[in-house]
Structure 1
C-alpha cells in the first residue's frame, strides 16, 4: 500500500516534466517562427529600403547585396572610378595638364552616356535620376542636364569655382545618388536572381519536419483521427512551407505565439474583430430569427403545423414514443410525487379555507343553525370537519394517480380530452381563425425584433457579452 502511494508523486512529477517539456518545445518553435518571419519581412523590404541601409548601415548592404544578386551598376561605377582618377590627377598635375584634359573629356562623354542610357531604370529609381539632373542643373544654373554636366567637367568652370569646391559638391550631392544605382542579374525566365531561398530552405525543412511529426503524434494520440485529417486540421501551418507568398506565414506565427503563451493574442483579436464581429453577429442573428419565424409562419399558413399536431402520421419521429404523452406523464409524476409533498401544508390550508367557507354557506349548515341546541355547535367541529375534507381531498388527488384503476380513469379522461380538442381544432373556421392570429403574431414578432435591433447598437451588445465573459473568467 505504501509503495502504491509513493508512485503517485512520481507519476505527477513525470507528468509535469512532460508538460513542461512540451511547453518549452512550443516556445522554442514559436521563437524560430518569429525569427523566420522577421527575416522574410526584411527580405521583402530590403529592395525598397536599400538606400536607407546604404546611407546609415552600409555593412548590411555589403553582406546582403550578393543574396539579392545586386552588383554596382557598371556605368555608374566606371563613372565614379573616372572621377576618382580625375581627383588624383587634379591634385598632382593641375587643370592645365594634358592627362587632366583627357580625363575631363572622358567624364563629359560618360556624363552624356549616363543621361542618355539612364542606369537607374534597372533599379526602378526614376525619381533618383530626376533628382540627380535637377541638382546639377540648379548648381550650374543651366536648364539642360547634359549641358550642365558638360560645363561642370570643363577646365574653365573648375578653375573659376575651384576644383576642390566642385568635387566637394559632387561628393556630397551627386556621388550618393550615383551610388544607389545597381544592376541585378536576370535568369532565363526573365526574373531577378534571388538566393534568399537558400537561407529559407533550412527553415522550411525544420518546419516541415515539425509539422509532420506533430500531426503524426496527434493522429496517434486521438482515436479515429487519421494522419491526413490531422494535417487538414493544421492547414495553416502549411503556410510555413510555401516558397512563395512568404508573408502569409504571419498567420501561423501568430497562432504559434498565442498557443505557446509568449504573446496573449486574445485581447488583440477581440479588438481587431470587435466592430466587424458585432455587425456580422447582428445580421446573422436577424437572419436566423427571420428564417425561423418565416418557416413557422409558412407552416401555420399552409396548415402543416396543424397537420403535424392533429394528424401526425406523416410526422418524422426519432422513436416510437409519443413525446406529448410522455412529457405530460412526466410532469404529472413530478407534480404528484415531488411537488405536492413539499407544498402539502399550503394545499391543505387552501382546501381547508375553501371547504370551511363553502360549508358555512351551505344549506346544510344553515339548517343545523335552525335546529334547537345546534346554535352552540363548537367551531372546532367545523374546523375538524373541514380539515378532514381537505386531507381526504389531498389523499384522493395523490392516490388516484398511483392507483391502477385511478390511473386508468385519469388516462381515459386525458385521452378523451385530447381527442375532443383535436376534433374541435379540425374545424375549418377554427383553424382559419387560429392560423390568422398566429400569422399576425409572428409578423408582429418580426417587425418588433427588427425595430429593436435597429435601435440597439450591436457593438454595445458585443461589449456587454465580452464583459460577462471577463466576469466569468475572474470568478473562475
Structure 2
C-alpha cells in the first residue's frame, strides 16, 4: 500500500500539473495573439504606401506619425505649389483679385505649373496615374486639350472674373489640392532601395518570438530525452518566418498552425478549402507514381528470379529476424490444415472417397465376376460406405497423430522438405522459370496499365470529397 507521504505528494502534484498545463495553454494563446498583432502591422506596412492617400483623408495624424518610418517627406515642387495656393487664398481675401500681390502670385503659379508639367514630380513616387488624373482634370475644367495651356489659362485673373472666384475655389479645393497632397518624396538607401524603418517596430516582436521559440524547444527536449534541442527546433521549422527580417507575410503559416493548435480559431476547414484542388491532383499524381513504382520494382524482382528462389543470396537484400521465416510460415500453415481444416472437411472427404471407390469397384473386372455369386449384389453399397468412412477417418487421424508424434513429425517434415525442394527445382528449371516470369510480368504490366486507365476516368476531387466525409464522420464519433 502507498504511504501517506506518497498520497499527499500525488495530491499536491496533480493540481500543480493542471495549473502548469492551464498556464501553458494561456501562454500559447497569448503568443498566438502576439503573432496576429505583428502580422496586422506587417500587412499595414506593406499596404501603407499604396493606401497613404486614404489615410491622409481619414487618419492624417497616422500619416504624420508613420511617414518618417517610410522615409517619406513632402515633395519640394508640389509643396511649394500648395504653399503658393494657400498664400493666394489669403491675399485674395484681404487684397482682392486686382491687387499687384495677387497678380504676382498668379504669375508665380503659372511658372510653377510649367515646371510641374515638365519635371513630373510624381514620377519618383510611382504615381503616374495621379499625375495623369491631375492633367485630365485641369483640361476638362478649362476645356483645353493641352495641360500646360490649361494651367496657364486657369491661373489668370481675367479667367477667374469670368467663372467667379467661388467656382475656382471649389475646383481648387476639391480637384487640385487632394491630388497635389498625394505626391511625396521618398528617401533611398545607398543600395537604391527605399528607406523602410519598420524593422524598429518589428525587432521587438522578433526578439519575443525568438526567446519564446528557444524556451519552448528547450522544454520539449528536456521532457523527452530522445529529442535533442536541434530536432525539436527542426520540427518547428514553420515558425522560422517569425524570425526572418524579410518575407514577413510568410508568418501567416505559423499563425494558422498556432490558431488551430490553441483552438483560438478553427482554420482546418479554411485550409482544406484553399488546398482542395491542389491536394486532389497532387494526391492523384502521387498515387499513380507509387503504384507504378511498386509494380516496376516487383517486375524487376520477378525477372531476376529472386521471387521464385528466395534462398538465392542477394547482397542488396536486407534480412530481418530469423532467416527461416518461410519454413516457419509453411509449418504453421500445415499445422492449421491438419489440426483445424481436415476435421472440418471430413464429411466432404468421405463423400469423395465413397464416390471414387464405388466407381473403381463397379468398373473393375473382379466385381463383374463376383456379381454372379449369390449375396454379392449388395456388396458395393455397404462395403464402399464402410471403406470410405474408414479411409477418411484414418487420413485425418494419421495426419493429426503424425504431426503431434515425434517420429511422425520427422517424417512429415521430411515429406514437406522434399516437397518444397522438388517444387523449387521444378520452378527453377529454365522452361518453367521463364514461363512463370513472363506470365507474372505480363500480369503486373496488365495491372499497371489498367490501373492508370481507371485512374484517368476517376475524378480525384470526388475521392478527396469522400476522404473529407470520412474525416468528418471520424471527428463526430470522437466528439461523442
Q: TM-score, normalised on structure 2?
A: 0.87
Partner of 2:438: 436
Equivalents in 1 of 2:7, 2:377: separation in Å? Answer: 83
Deviation at 1:145, TM superposition (A): 2.0
Number of corresponding residues = 468
What does the per-residue CA deviation read over 1:214-234, in whole Å, with 9 as the maximum and x for residues that have no partner? 122222222132222222222
Partner of 2:188: 186
Partner of 2:333: 331
Partner of 2:200: 198
Partner of 1:26: 28
Deviation at 1:45, TM superposition (A): 0.2
Equivalents in 2 of 1:223, 1:204: separation in Å? Answer: 29
Residue 119 in structure 1 maps to residue 118 in structure 2: no
Judged with a 3 Å threshold, the aligned counterparts in structure 2 of structure 1 residues 365 and 58 are, in CA distance, closer, same or farther, namely farther
> Are the counterparts in 1 of residues 39 and 252 from structure 2 also a CA contact under 8 Å?
yes
> Are the counterparts in 2 of residues 134 and 145 from structure 1 also a CA contact under 8 Å?
yes
Partner of 2:299: 297
Partner of 1:166: 168
Deviation at 1:10, TM superposition (A): 4.5
Residue 402 in structure 1 maps to residue 404 in structure 2: yes
Partner of 1:42: 44
- Bigger shift: residues 122-131 or 283-292: 283-292
Give 2:462's match in structure 1, choosing from 454, 460, 463.
460
Equivalents in 2 of 1:194, 1:287: separation in Å? Answer: 47
Partner of 2:68: 66
- CA-atom RMSD, angstroms? 3.2
Alignment of 1:69-80 (within 5 A): 69-80=71-82
Equivalents in 1 of 2:452, 2:375: separation in Å? Answer: 75
Deviation at 1:160, TM superposition (A): 1.9
Partner of 1:287: 289
- Bigger shift: residues 348-357 or 266-275: 348-357
Deviation at 1:181, TM superposition (A): 0.9
> Are the counterparts in 1 of residues 284 and 460 from structure 2 also a CA contact under 8 Å?
yes
Give 1:153's match in structure 2, choosing from 147, 155, 164.
155
Judged with a 3 Å threshold, the aligned counterparts in structure 2 of structure 1 residues 336 and 264 are, in CA distance, closer, same or farther, namely farther
Residue 136 in structure 1 maps to residue 138 in structure 2: yes
Judged with a 3 Å threshold, the aligned counterparts in structure 2 of structure 1 residues 234 and 373 are, in CA distance, closer, same or farther, namely closer
What does the per-residue CA deviation read over 1:380-419, in whole Å, with 9 as the maximum and x for residues that have no partner? x998997776555433322210101101111111111122
SS in structure 2 opposite 1:48?
A: coil
Deviation at 1:198, TM superposition (A): 1.0
Judged with a 3 Å threshold, the aligned counterparts in structure 2 of structure 1 residues 359 and 241 are, in CA distance, closer, same or farther, namely closer
Equivalents in 1 of 2:212, 2:239: separation in Å? Answer: 10
Judged with a 3 Å threshold, the aligned counterparts in structure 2 of structure 1 residues 208 and 322 are, in CA distance, closer, same or farther, namely same
- Bigger shift: residues 408-417 or 268-277: 268-277
- Bigger shift: residues 293-302 or 140-149: 293-302
Partner of 2:419: 417
Deviation at 1:359, TM superposition (A): 7.8
What does the per-residue CA deviation read over 1:295-333, in whole Å, with 9 as the maximum and x for residues that have no partner? 333343454544x34x52447433553222111112223
Partner of 1:449: 451
Judged with a 3 Å threshold, the aligned counterparts in structure 2 of structure 1 residues 51 and 2 are, in CA distance, closer, same or farther, namely same
What does the per-residue CA deviation read over 1:419-449, in whole Å, with 9 as the maximum and x for residues that have no partner? 2222222332222322222222222212211
Q: TM-score, normalised on structure 1?
A: 0.88
Partner of 1:312: 312
Equivalents in 1 of 2:101, 2:351: separation in Å? Answer: 134
SS in structure 2 opposite 1:430?
A: helix
> Are the counterparts in 1 of residues 306 and 312 from structure 2 also a CA contact under 8 Å?
no
Structure 1 unaligned runs (5+)? none
Judged with a 3 Å threshold, the aligned counterparts in structure 2 of structure 1 residues 230 and 140 are, in CA distance, closer, same or farther, namely same
Structure 2 unaligned runs (5+)? none
Judged with a 3 Å threshold, the aligned counterparts in structure 2 of structure 1 residues 328 and 199 are, in CA distance, closer, same or farther, namely same
